[in-house]
Structure 1
Amino acid sequence: MRRVALFGPPATGKTTLARWLSTELDEPHTDLDDILFTPEGPLPLEEFRRQTAEITRTDGWIVEGNFSKLADVVWHRADTLVWLDFPLP
């Protein structure tokens, strides 16, 4: 387990789990929201895809986010997919 993609609804613990996995597996953690949302506004889709693809070309990573438009550069490159789907109150 070296390339992990976490996804799920908001407030299900993606960031908490991703940070923990990053520490336990000694792999870098990336929240895709941190790439997409810049001080100048959201990145254009092609730039978002390019930057994300650059991260997931490496041997190990933990990536979190709900972006189906990145499935080919995140989900299809991952060796482990984690879907957090807890019932909301």
Structure 2
Amino acid sequence: MRVIGPDEPLPAGRLQRIAVTGPPGAGKTTLARDLCHRMELPFIEFESFYHAPGWTVRPTWQEDVLKFIEGPEWAIEWQGEEVREQMTARTQVLVWLDHPRLFAVVRTIVRTVRRRFGGGTPIAGGNVEGPLWTFFTDPGHIVRESWRRHPVMRARVRRVIEENRHPDLVIVRLRGQRQVDAWLNGPFARGLAAARP
């Protein structure tokens, strides 16, 4: 296993299976979508496996995720505690969006406000996030979750590193949007170009 930064080269060969991790607001979905676009793959948001209408949980979500990651090529958010180990075992490159905590929380607030001013933009399962003021009444509000889950996600990645059960896994640690952009336009772009015929 290797942990590398935004300027270090990726392993030689075709990039086929990439997972993106970080707390809410880190930009997991945005980056996974961008990776799929660059890799010329269809994008499926992880939460579309999980959420049904009314914020209920789809009963087959675990089976559906496991079936998806058996495919040869994908980029997806590294989520779902029940399937995380199987996903890690299939992942070639884990992109760790290890942004500062306040950075992720502010981005979550901005995203929530944009969705609300966009007329309640539907997300996975056709659900709509509650208004920002419910931060004060809803203990599971996404802004609170971003703050709470920041150290949790960091601990999960560190556990993968410490346990070292996936020797071929490469973890790319990125802190801040500048590093994300530098990695996308540098090592990722070069790795993609080198693997193309």
Q: TM-score range by the shorter chain?
A: 0.7 to 0.9
Q: How far is 1:73 from its partner?
A: 2.8
- Indicate how the Cα distance of structure 1 residues 11 and 65 shifts in structure 2: closer, same or farther if over 3 A, else same: same
Unaligned runs of at least 5 residues, structure 2: 1-14, 103-197
Alignment pair present for 1:25 and 2:25: no
Does 2:51 align with 1:37?
yes
Q: TM-score, normalised by structure 2?
A: 0.41
Moved more, 25-34 or 6-15: 25-34
Aligned identity (percent) is 29
CA distance in 1, matches of 2:90, 2:52: 25
Structure with the bigger percentage of helix: 2
Q: Contact (CA 8 Å) 2:21, 2:97: kept in 1 or not?
A: yes
Q: Which has the higher contact order (CA 8 A, sep 6+)?
A: 1
Greater C-alpha Rg = 2
Give deviations 1:39-85, integer Å, cap 9, x for gaps: 161123xx221100111111101111432221233111111111111
In 1, distance between residues paired with 2:42 and 2:82? 22
Using the alignment, how far apart are the partners of 1:11 and 1:69 within structure 2?
22
Give the superposed CA RMSD: 1.5
Q: Which runs of 5+ in 1 are unaligned?
A: none
Task: State how many pairs are aligned.
Answer: 87
